[in-house]
A and B are shown apart, each in its own frame.
Chain A
Amino acid sequence: MVRLPDEPAGHVADVLTFDWSLVRYAAPLLAQGLAVTLKISALAIVFGTLLGFVFGLLSVGPVAPLRWFVRAYVDFVRGTPLLIQVFLVYFALPVVGINLSEFWAGVVALSLNAAGFIAEIVRAGISSIELGQTEAAKSIGMTPRQVLTFILLPQIYRPVLPPLTNELIALVKGSSLLSVISVYELTRAGQAIISERFVPFEIYTMIALYYYVVISFLSWLSRSLEQRLHAW
């Protein structure tokens, strides 16, 4: 690019300069948002995983109506955007008399969403174990519950871990959508600063970094767990 001699030298630099003083201002505010993101994600990971395992087990269980219910549930969760699910929980539940704070609406929406995907992961994990082992367990007189507890479940953790990690990462990222129902999480905290100071570049970069660190930690945790789990 040809530089015009009379253009002030500092102009281009001004636009591209990262405003470091802003970082000092924003960091603690974003940290508050991050704390909420972590809290919501942790709760949703716990509830979503528990519910997902329950649904996953029901989907291979003996009760047909429950299998159909899980099937339909998974279809719905997979077939609709998370953003819409968040709105449904936040705006539709009060209509039927369930009033949740933004925070808990967020936890519920993320948990229900993750549960649908995790149910499918658990179902696939159980189906991946050869039928022969189930038959052998039955042949020595195990009840279906014993087959599940002593033969199938101990073997699914390792194959289930990588897809489960992907899902939990998606959950953490998805928590940024809760900004639309004004949960003061990381993204919302950043948007507040942007609307006050109009510095989208700096703030969104910082938000991205914050998420990146959290998610990298999750990936690392999953990998080291995977190595520790026994392979046979």
Chain B
Amino acid sequence: MSSPLLCVSRLTKRFGARVAVDACSLDVSEGEIVVIIGPSGCGKTTLLRCINHLETPTAGTVTLRGATIAGSERELPLLRRRIGFVFQRFNLFHHLTALDNVAIGPERVLGLPRAEARRLARAKLDRVLMTDHVDKRPAQLSGGQQQRVAIARSLAMAPELILFDEPTSALDPELVTEVLDVMKSLALEHMTMIVVTHEMSFAGQVADRVLFMDAGAFVEEGSPAQMFSSPTQERTSRFLSHLLR
């Protein structure tokens, strides 16, 4: 078996005395889709943020194809650009149009000529069904549209995997589907993804593996079918019973 794409090893994050992430280990293979579920405040988001060092871990290591993700703010950018990150609150650049939000990475970070960067951005916006809105600014877009632009922004960097941090929890219910549909289409193309979400039907349809996290640690993992129908841990079943009710 080939070595995993991403290795998270005993990753720990403390905020003062509080342990947000407690020695979590996780290997993700190429093309794998991992869904992390768990009660709010259990450390899912912190774990994701530690993977690309938006949050500096207190201990533990993360490696991407053997390259350790660590170092100064000068060294990290070269590693970070290989990992996409989709935020709960989209975090688009307010002063730029949808097109420029997506093109700015290829142009400024990858150094593509402007015309080529914009061509690439246009293709990625087509990919997330935002063709008609390329010239709008974030303030003119709905939450679902903004999130799709944010996904296109990640895609434009040709990432080796994408981390999704509750990508639909800031959206109105009727806008959730359009974002999940885009994520499902990425899954069909075997994009490697780690998704923190409460969308159980999404997890059931696309996840190769579901991890349940509580109090900063992984409690249980398994296939979606196994996790949702017959969890072995009491905490897992209690959480799922609340969610699936």
Contact = CB atoms under 8 A, between A and B. Distances in A.
Interface of A: 62, 130, 132-133, 135-144, 146, 150-151, 154-155, 230, 232
Contacts of B85: 135-136, 139
Contact of A142 (B108, B137, B139): B108
12 contacts: A133-B91, A135-B85, A137-B93, A140-B81, A140-B105, A141-B80, A141-B157, A143-B74, A143-B77, A144-B73, A146-B108, A150-B108
Given A141-B105, A146-B109, A232-B137, A136 B77 contact: no
A57 to B, nearest CB: 15
Nearest to A157: B95
A142 B81 CA distance: 8
B105 A154 contact: no
Contacts of B82: 141
Contacts, number: 73
Which 9 residue pairs are nearest across A and B when measured between Cβ atoms?
Answer: A141-B81, A132-B91, A139-B85, A136-B91, A140-B105, A141-B109, A141-B77, A232-B94, A143-B77
Interface of B: 52, 54, 73-74, 76-78, 80-85, 87, 89-95, 104-105, 108-109, 137-139, 150, 153-154, 157
Contacts of B81: 140-141
A151 B54 CA distance: 17
A187 B82 CA distance: 62
Given A136-B150, A139-B84, A154-B95, 8 more contacts: A136-B85, A138-B54, A138-B76, A139-B85, A140-B80, A142-B108, A143-B74, A144-B73
Contacts of A142: 77, 105, 108-109
Nearest to B105: A140
Contacts of B52: 139
A135 B93 contact: no
Nearest to B159: A140
Nearest to B74: A143
Contacts of A232: 94-95, 137-139
A130 B157 contact: no
Contacts of A133: 91-94
Given A140-B153, A154-B95, A232-B137, A62 B105 contact: no
**Most A-side CB within 10 Å, residue of B54, B82, B108, B139:** B108
**Most A-side CB within 10 Å, residue of B73, B137, B138, B154:** B73
A143 to B, nearest CB: 5
Contact of A140 (B90, B109, B137): B109
Contact of A151 (B77, B87, B93): B93
**Most B-side CB within 10 Å, residue of A140, A150, A155:** A140
